[in-house]
Amino acid sequence: MNKKQITLIVATLAVVGYLYSLPVKGLIKASEPHDKAASSAPVAGKAALNVNAATVSEPARAAIGEGLAATIIKLEEELANASSDADKVSIQKKLAKQWEDVNQPAPAAFYYQAVARKDNSFDAWLSAGNRFNDAVKLEQDTAIAPAFVTGAVEAFKGALKLKPENLEAKTGLGVAYANGGASSPMQGITLLREVIAKDPKNLSANLNLGLLSMKSGQYDKAVDRFKTVISVKPSIESYFYLAETYKQLGRKTEAVAAYEKCKDLIPDPVFGKRIDQYIKELKN
């Protein structure tokens, strides 16, 4: 399996896996406020203490195969034998980059976190937070996801201490809060709205507010968010979620068109067949 194939698989898992987290439309109260997060978000807790780089690296190595894992295994051995903090940080940086290169955000996040805790650099904190948020999107184990949420909150707070007005870090913290890293998901939504107020076309903030609107059944508002994202930078995710939103609204023609756009962006036969199935169901 090469890196391009892994990228396609990760993208497919991200969009298809998200569907299973959506609530049933009929169970959502119409009175819920705009962009309110769903109650199914993973809640950070004690599980965060039991998940680390070692626990997530083993399944990640199995996912990428022996060929791509060879360099990582060698670096892990070097890290185990490193004696000085400087050597450990150097190897941890390499491991974070290697895991990131093969699209395995969970182990990458923990290694970036380890580096950030040592050098307290903005870039390391930001990278850790982004990878933790990516890991939340892909993780289906509800016992593990809270650890990623906790890691993301720590990382983005660390980044914002160094650059309080950085919009990427503020967006990331908003997403982490909405995922369960705060006493109320509205704390996250408030942060995301602050980003939009300063940067109306912000891709990440609009995409995540769109996802939160989907989860709360605010589909009309989700359409606007995803259209904003597509107007700036079309992506697999934005077209897929736009199609799903149109489907929930009963706008079948627009849903089919958005699915087709999504399919064009992933020349993967497995993903294509799934999209074809969705289109067939809409046309029947």
Q: How confident is the model at residue 29 (pLDDT cuts 50, 70, 90)?
A: very low
Q: What's the pLDDT at 271? A: 79
Q: Which carries the bigger pLDDT value, residue 238 or residue 9? A: 238
Q: What's the pLDDT at 201? A: 96
Residues 145, 151: Cα–Cα separation, whole Å:
10
Q: What is the mean pLDDT of residues 152-164?
A: 98
The answer to whether 111 and 95 are in contact (CB under 8 A) is yes
Per-residue pLDDT tens over the stretch 213-228? 998 999 999 999 999 9
Torsion of CA 174, 180, 186, 188, to 10 degrees: 0
Whether 31 shows a pLDDT value over 90: the answer reads no
Per-residue pLDDT tens over the stretch 232-280? 999 888 999 999 999 999 999 999 999 999 988 877 788 788 889 999 9
Q: How confident is the model at residue 44 (pLDDT cuts 50, 70, 90)?
A: low
Per-residue pLDDT tens over the stretch 171-207? 999 999 999 988 888 999 999 999 999 999 999 999 9
pTM: 0.83
Q: What is the mean pLDDT of residues 42-50?
A: 56
Q: How confident is the model at residue 14 (pLDDT cuts 50, 70, 90)?
A: low
Q: What's the pLDDT at 148? A: 96
Q: What is the mean pLDDT of the chain?
A: 85
Whether 15 shows a pLDDT value over 60: the answer reads no
